[in-house]
Structures are given as C-alpha cells and as structure tokens.
Structure 1
Amino acid sequence: MDLAKELKEGLCSRPKYIPVSLRYDHQGLQYDEQCFDLDEYYHYRAEEALIKSSIKDVVSNLCIPCKVFDIGCGNTKKAQMLLNELLQYQNTVEYAPIDVSKDFLNEVCDVLFQIYGDSLKVDPMSDDLFQALSKIGNYRGRKALLWISGLQIFPKDTQLKMLSNISSTLEGNDVCLITADITQNKEVIEKAYLNFDEQRPNAKLYTNGIHVLNREFEANIDISQFKLEGKYVEDKDVSSASCVQVWLRSLCKQSYNIEKLGITMTLEEGEKLMLHGGNGMSHKYTSNQLEYLFAKAHLRVLNKWENENSALFLCKREM
C-alpha cells in the first residue's frame, strides 16, 4: 500500500489514526536515537547488552559467508556487533542496510565506510519494509536477515504479515535474527513510554508523524489544539501481546481540508487521533506469545538468547 492510500485509510477510519511508520523520517530517526539516552528507556540498553553477550554464539550458529540484510537499520550500532564478529571469519562482508529515509541511509553509509573501508560491501536499500522484502526474496545467495527492535513497533496484524514475508524470503540455510521486548513490569514500561513532556524526545517522536503529514501533504494540522495522551494495555492472551497506546486528543472541534489526500478530516472536541494503527505499538511479549506468532508465520526457532528485558531469536523457515 502506498503512503497516500494508507494515510487516507487511517484518517477516514474510526478511530482515526496515522500509521506509526510515518514518524520515522530523518528527523524522527534522530528523535528515536535521542530516546536511547533517557535513563528510564530500558529497551535499548537491554537489547544492546544481550547482543553483545551472545554475538559469538550467534555467529557460531550461522552458515557463512552470507549477506546481511538489516531491516530498519537505524544507526547500525547493534548490527556492527554482528558485522565485527563475521569479519573474524571473512575478509569482507556484504551488508544491506534498509530504511525508508534515503538521506538517513546516506549518512549511515558514510559512517560505515569510515569504520570499515573496503572490508564492508555496503548495498543500501531505500524502501519501505514490504518493498525491501520483495527485493530480498529475489536474492539467490545465502542470507541472514536482521530485524532489531522492529517487531514490536507495528500493530499485531502487521507483525504477522511482516514475519510471514520474512519467512517467505528464506531458503535452505538462510536465517533471520529477530529481537523482542519481553519486559512485563508495568511500572518500568509506563515510566519509559508514557512521560509526555513536550521537550522529551519520545514525545517529539510520537508527534513527528503530524509534522510529516503537514510537510508532505500540506495538512496544516495545528498540533497546539491537541493534547498528547496514552496508556499501557496488558494482554496475556497467547495470540496477542501487551502494548502501549498513544493518541492526540482534540481540544476543540476542528476540520482540515487535505487536498493532496482528497479528504476533509473533522475531529470533534475530545476525539482521539491515534498515533498508530491497530491495537497499539511498543509491544511486550511473553514466551508463549512469541512462540505462537513465529509458528503462525512458519518460522522455526533454532536458538534463543535472553535477559530480563530482551530476547534474541535465530529462526529459519519451516518448510
């Protein structure tokens, strides 16, 4: 689905929403990185520590050489732990960082060249994730897909679709490495995600999709006429997951004619504009929920590493 169609669908739904992916333009990715420095934002540090402690064991489970496809690569710092270990066994590594922001990818490639020079063969892919997976499926060499911190961002129906698409790209000894947030402490989660001070990078990230909508589609939405709110929703059902929900509550009745989308969006006083589709974002999983999700996507878990807050899975396609 193209962005305009996805936005139109979201803004005409009940409740109205903008897709979570819209926030991750170049500026949004910078806000995302700034969140890593917040003391209460446990996830980044827990995931980094897990990858660092397990990476030698992870690589010992891979069939190498292989090309690494990094889905939603971010700043690549965690991927670099994998690349560094692979370079202990190979003179060069093929690496394809994937992100929707071409400008951000260019910056990433410059940094990688400064670090690795010619030992890293970088093949950047500026695509949305589904487009990228379609292209990865056409690659016939041995591959390892890396999806760090990506699974939990999307609504649960999109998670299954993404994992199924990942599974369909895998052949033979191809594998994927997937991380997940397994935190179950409500107090810790709420402290990390539900502080809406407008000067904090997480609040800026949540609302960045509105700024992208205004810039790219001339929506002219007045964000001062909204209040940022949210809650943590606990869900232990095996076919679901706990999550964070975040929205903008309209402080008055207001309408916006968005000509580039061919719609007029009207919000009543008190109405919510959700900042994600589906059930929520920033999902937190139990072991049973992850096992169920992977099985539904026809992914077989070969190995798992975990600490208190994060889990890392090595999977291959269930033939």
Structure 2
Amino acid sequence: MDLMKEVKEGLSSSPKYIPVSLRYDHQGSEYDEQCLHMEDFYHYRADVDLIKSCAKDVISQLCTPCKLFDIGCGNAKKSQFFLDELLQLQNTVEYAPVDISKDFLDEVCNALRHTYGDRLKIDPMADDFFRALSKIRSYRGNKALLWISGLQVFPKDMQLDILSKFFSALEGNGACMITADITQSREAIEKAYLNFDEENPCAKLYANGFHVLNRMFEANINVSQFKLEGRYVEDKDVSSASYLQVWMRSLCKQSYEIDKLGMTISFEEGEKLMLHGGNGLSHKYTISQLEYLFEKAHFRILKIWKNENSALLLCERKK
C-alpha cells in the first residue's frame, strides 16, 4: 500500500493509528539496533543462540545452490550464520537483503562487502515488504526466503495473508526459514517491551513513528501533549497468539491540520493514538499456534528448532 494512503487510512480509523513501518526510517533503524543490546531485550540474544546452533543443520536441508532473500534484514548479523554455511557449499552466494530504509541498507551492504568480498553477490532491495515479495516472486532461479522475527510484528489478521504471499513467492524446491518469539513469561515480555522511560531505545523507537509523521507530512503534532503507554495481552487459543499493544494517549483536547495529507485530525483528552494497526504487535506464540497458522497458509513444516524464547521453522509449499 502507498505510505501516504496508509497513513491517511490509519488517522481516519477508529481508533486512530499510525503504521508500524513509519517508524523505521534511518533513525528508527538505529534505535532498533540499540534495542538489541539492552539487557532485558531477550529476543535478540535468543535468536542469535538458536540460529548459531542450528544454521548448519538448516542449510544442509536446502536445495543448493540458491539465492537467499533476507526479508527485513536489519543489521544482517544473524543472517551471516546462514551465509557462512552456504559459503561452505557454494563458491559464491547470491544474497538479496531487503529493508525499507535505503540509507541503513546501504550501510549494511557496505559492511557485508568488507566481510565477504567477491564471494557474496549482493543484490539489495530497498523497498517495503509487499513490493519486495512481488519482485521475489518473479525470480525464476532456486531461492530460499529468510525472515527473522518479522511475522510477529504484523497484526494477527494480516499474518495469514502475509504467509500466503510467501507461499506464492516460492516455487519448486524453494524453502522459507522463519523465526518467531515463543516466550511465555509475562514478566520477561513486559520488562523487554513495556519500559517507557524516555531514554530507553525501545520507547524512542515506538515514538519515532510520531516524529516521522511530523517530518514527512509536516504534521507539527506536539509530542509533549501525548504519553506513551502499552500493555501485554495473553491469548492461549490455538488459532491466535499473545501480543503487545502500544499507544500515545492524548493529554488534552487538541487538533492539527496536516496539509500534505489534506486532513485535520482531532483528539479528545485521554484518546489513544495506536502505534500499530490491527490487534497489536510483537506477537508471542506457542508451537501449537505456529503450527496452526502455517497449516492454514498451506505450508508444510519440515522441521522446527527452538529454545526457551525463539523458534525457527523451515517450511516449503505443500506439494
């Protein structure tokens, strides 16, 4: 969806919201990077430990040689465990990292070129998630799709559709490698994601969507007139998942004209501006919930690796 259209749709909804993708400009990507090194942010370390321990086994089950498409690559540190294993099997590897921020992606690619030299043939894709998948679908060679901790960010009512788009991007012997957060400790989750101290990089990341809205669309919203809040919602139903909700609460009655969007937005005192669409973000799954979701998307799960906080699913299209 066009970003301007998506933002207008969100600000016209009830409750109002701004899309998660808005916060991931270059500054937002840097905040995200800082979150990874926080002591309470368990998920990054859990993903690293899991991927490091199983990367060789995962890659051994792929049909190689293949081109690796890394959806939402971030700093690509975790992806390098897979690249290292692929380079044990192939003289060169075609690698297509995908990120919405071109500036951040350029920095990541330069670092990878320094590390791997000519052995890594980098084909960066600075694009949003859905356009990137459309381009990946048109690639006719053998391919593997890597998506590290990305599914859980999207609202629950979008996840099946997103996995279906992954399904349509695969063909032949192609495979998907997807990680997800399976943490079930409320205490650990709330410490990691619901610390709203203004110096906390996670809080800065949440609020960054607000700042991008102001800068990109000249909204001039007074951020000091809002308070960052959130909650964790637990859901054990096999067809669902637990999740977080995060919002900015208006501290007074206020109104703003946003000429670039051709609209005026008003807030009542106490009204919430959600920092995501749909039910929530950062979903936490049980293994049964993941199996149910992937079954609905017509994937066949070949194998699941897991530790206390993370799971990696290797899957293919059902024949």
TM normalised by structure 1 equals: 0.99
Match of 2:232 in 1: 232
Match of 1:88 in 2: 88
Shift in Å, 1:219: 0.6
- 1:263, 1:298 → 2: CA distance? 41
Match of 1:25 in 2: 25
Match of 1:13 in 2: 13
Match of 1:48 in 2: 48
Match of 2:170 in 1: 170
- 2:42, 2:108 → 1: CA distance? 24
Measured against aligned partners, the alpha-carbon deviations of 1:192-232 in whole angstroms (never above 9, x if no partner) come to: 11110001100000000011111111011111000100000
SS of residue paired to 1:277: coil
Shift in Å, 1:236: 1.0
Measured against aligned partners, the alpha-carbon deviations of 1:72-127 in whole angstroms (never above 9, x if no partner) come to: 00000011100011101111000000011111111111101100010000000011
SS of residue paired to 2:89: coil
SS of residue paired to 1:77: coil
- 1:301, 1:310 → 2: CA distance? 16
Query: For residues 1-319 of structure 1, what are the structure 2 equivalents within 5 Å?
Result: 1-319=1-319
Amino acid at match of 1:189: I
Aligned sequence identity (%): 72
- 1:32, 1:141 → 2: CA distance? 33
Amino acid at match of 2:45: R
Shift in Å, 1:163: 0.8
Shift in Å, 1:250: 0.2
Measured against aligned partners, the alpha-carbon deviations of 1:236-267 in whole angstroms (never above 9, x if no partner) come to: 11221100100000000011111111110000
Q: Which runs of 4+ in 1 moved over 4 A?
A: none
- 2:105, 2:308 → 1: CA distance? 32
Shift in Å, 1:69: 0.2
- 1:70, 1:76 → 2: CA distance? 8
Amino acid at match of 1:269: E
- 1:19, 1:293 → 2: CA distance? 23
- 2:318, 2:217 → 1: CA distance? 42
Shift in Å, 1:150: 0.5
- 2:258, 2:202 → 1: CA distance? 27
Shift in Å, 1:288: 1.4
Measured against aligned partners, the alpha-carbon deviations of 1:26-49 in whole angstroms (never above 9, x if no partner) come to: 110110010111111000000100
- 2:239, 2:15 → 1: CA distance? 23
SS of residue paired to 2:30: helix
- 1:41, 1:170 → 2: CA distance? 33
SS of residue paired to 2:70: strand
CA RMSD of aligned residues (A): 0.7
SS of residue paired to 1:195: coil
SS of residue paired to 2:269: coil
Amino acid at match of 1:39: E
SS of residue paired to 1:192: helix
